[in-house]
Amino acid sequence: MSGNIYTEASNFLLNHKTGSLKSRIYSAHNASQNPRASPARLYALIMETLKHQDLLNEVIENSGILSVEKKLNHTIALLLLHDHLLLKPGKDCISLSASHPLKSAVLRHKARLSAELTRSRLRRGFPTVEALKVAAKSCEEGTTNIPRWVRINTLKTTLKGVLSTTPFDSFTKVVSLQSIFDPPENSQNVYYVDANIPNLLAFPVSVTQMLTSHKLYAAGALILQDKASCFPAHILNPPPGAHVIDACAAPGNKTTHLAAIMSGGCGMHGKGRITAFERDPRRSEILLKMVNQAGANGIVEIRKASDFLKSNPQTDPHLGYTTHLLLDPSCSGSGITAREQAESILTKFTPLTLPAQSHSVQAKKRKRPTSPPPLEPENEETPTIPNDEAAAALSTRLTTLSGFQLTLLLHALSFPHAKRITYSTCSIYCQENEHVVVAALLSPIARERGWKIDSELSMLKEWKRRGIVEEVENMAKGLLKHNEELDHSWVKDVAMGCVRCDGGDGTGGFFVACFVRETDRSEVGYTFIQEEEREPQGEHEEMFEEWEGINDVVEAREGSKLPIISAPKKRNKAPRNSHKRVKILRRKK
């Protein structure tokens, strides 16, 4: 079987070498006496295939094509199916002759493959292949004004130390972020010192390779971290000596940022502690490597393969005195930029383990066996699902995610000595953002303990983009009890306490809010208006016994599915004392 673009692309994927993929492809092309494919076409095939590898992997696995077609391996199948299913929807674009064995191996199963593609695509909320491709292209175009952000790790060095190191000492400082994209004609090597986050620099994306090959990067002194990703630790701002929890810590950028903030200077460790939870064993190893490389192992305790939701501050002495918590849970990732995804897809590529019969495309010549029967599609026709059902699938996914996010946040609110909590997502959806914040604020645990939103956000006073007032108001109205009324100044303050980012801010899509609690209720900016009699809540354990937790699916005012908090169960026994029932949070006069 002669060589072709697919075997050549497969070799580049499977043979990991130093240097970028593009430089490897062009170098091989220039060195070859008889190149088989243009380097541009080869690079495009690999990158476009990997952008959709999760979807294509589902098609491969669910169709069972590898178990039938012994000439195919996983990598070759990925590349072939990209051109067959995605390059030009409805047309076969495999760049092989009609009689080529690899092409025949795919075309024998085109009905089943098409059906599996449709199912996988619709599960992601895209009604057509074109819609999927347009969304990917739009995301890529939205990253043109996002620089390469670099956080100076003050556990290892200082801003002044970095800027005095070669080649940064020859870079020109610019006074605006826009100048990163339109540098002066006499200098392409420029940097910008961020106005919001200390020790954060912006560089043109073109210098990324220089940054990642620099000795300071290898030493953990430079950390590539998006500006918005720096907001949670910056807003939490734990002082030296604080006891902090990072509830969903991997890969560790926010964890090491917390450590740098608490250190108070280069290499200076206070007596504080950061407990970093990560429930996934593989990601726990990544976290460990990141913490060690950043020099934060003296202050960070990693709980490997440990679930924050199973932690108990009442029985664990290391957690009982936690004062600050950072929550950055799993989310839809709808705010992640295409550039961030593209830079990670090569590292995520792992060939599937195949049966022992054949791992090679270069089969020995032998008597050709009878062609295997085609895989039968589950239905004769490719299933079609209306757009509203695709939207419903997305809504269901957001409901599941927001339910988990709210559970995590409520657990954090229960820590007895906690006084400051940040909640963040890399999502653009209000279901994961404002809705979760409002549901947490109006929960029994937040009311009982006096939690409120930090609407001042002194660490980011100049940031203009805040929460969506209408989403805060609508969610709050859906959660109020019959005898409660909404204070609109409370709504505005909650929205002001939510920070949003998007591509226009030089970042990806991001959301963060900060919850604060003061031990003296009289000092809290909002208080409960007492109205009718009820029995007081007892100890916190008693409150948890009564609270029913999250309703995974409930009808909201607009008919969407949203997670909300159940009302506490009513007791049958008579109250011991006369107390007033909570009405609603309202600003004191």
Binding-site members are 248-254, 278, 328
Instruction: Yes or no: say if 374 and 108 are a contact pair by the CB < 8 Å rule.
Output: yes
State how far the Cα of 469 lies from the Cα of 459, in Å rounded to an integer: 21
H or E element at residue 438: helix 434-441
Cα dihedral 68/72/73/74 (nearest 10): -80
**Distance from CA of residue 189 to its chain's centroid?**
30
Phi, psi of 485 (to 5 degrees): -120, 155
State how far the Cα of 457 lies from the Cα of 499, in Å rounded to an integer: 9
Q: How many helices (H) and strands (E) does the chain have?
A: 23, 17
Task: Give the β-pairing of 190-193 and 172-174.
Answer: parallel
- Which token pair is 527? 């208080």
State how far the Cα of 494 lies from the Cα of 526, in Å rounded to an integer: 11
Annotated binding site for S-adenosyl-L-methionine: 248-254, 278, 328
Q: Where are the alpha helices (DSSP H) in 16-149?
A: 21-31, 39-51, 53-63, 65-68, 74-81, 101-107, 110-123, 129-141
Q: Which of 139, 230, 331, 426 is catalytic?
A: 426
Among all chains, which residue has been given the structure tokens 């075997």?
Answer: 7
Instruction: Yes or no: say if 16 and 50 are a contact pair by the CB < 8 Å rule.
Output: no
Cβ neighbours of residue 251 under 8 Å, at least 6 residues apart? 283, 286, 287, 290
Instruction: Yes or no: say if 83 and 45 are a contact pair by the CB < 8 Å rule.
Output: yes
| 426 given a catalytic annotation | yes
Residue type, 9: A
- Which token pair is 328? 């950055």
Which residue, 437, 418, 439, is CA-closest to 496? 437
State how far the Cα of 398 lies from the Cα of 430, in Å rounded to an integer: 10
Q: Where in the sequence numbering do the catalytic residues fall?
A: 426
